[in-house]
């Protein structure tokens, strides 16, 4: 499979999963800035229930796995480009 297609599929899956999770969530968010910076805090409380929670989690996991697969595939293709010419031709024949 082409690496470009893997990246597109992973981004779509991640966007759909996170969209379901955040689109159907109930919660609050709070931020307080302080000096010194060690006193600053960010608090998130999110709750998503029902089918959007299950489908959102599933789409997010699939998206992460596809993104990892695309990264590994891209690295392998870059390593193959640096292989000697005769090795690449032998791989293409088989």
Task: Please tell me the pTM assigned to this model.
Answer: 0.73
- Using CA atoms, how far apart are residues 31 and 77, in angstroms rounded to an integer? 44
Give Cα separations from 14 to 8, 10, 17, 29, 76 (angstroms).
10, 6, 5, 22, 23
pLDDT at 78 (0 to 100): 82
Per-residue pLDDT of the chain (94 residues; tens, 9 = 90+): 678 899 999 999 999 999 999 999 998 989 999 999 889 999 989 999 999 999 999 999 999 999 999 999 988 888 877 766 665 556 566 5
DSSP state of 2: -
pLDDT at 3 (0 to 100): 80
């Amino acid at each position: 499979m082409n690496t470009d297609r893997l990246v597109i599929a992973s981004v779509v899956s991640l966007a759909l999963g996170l969209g379901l999770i955040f689109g159907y969530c109930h919660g609050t968010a709070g931020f307080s800035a302080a000096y010194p910076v060690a006193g600053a805090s960010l608090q998130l409380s999110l709750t998503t229930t029902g089918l959007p929670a299950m489908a959102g989690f599933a789409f997010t996991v699939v998206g992460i796995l596809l993104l990892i697969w695309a990264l590994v595939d891209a690295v392998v293709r870059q390593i193959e480009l640096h292989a000697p010419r005769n090795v690449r031709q032998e791989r293409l024949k088989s």
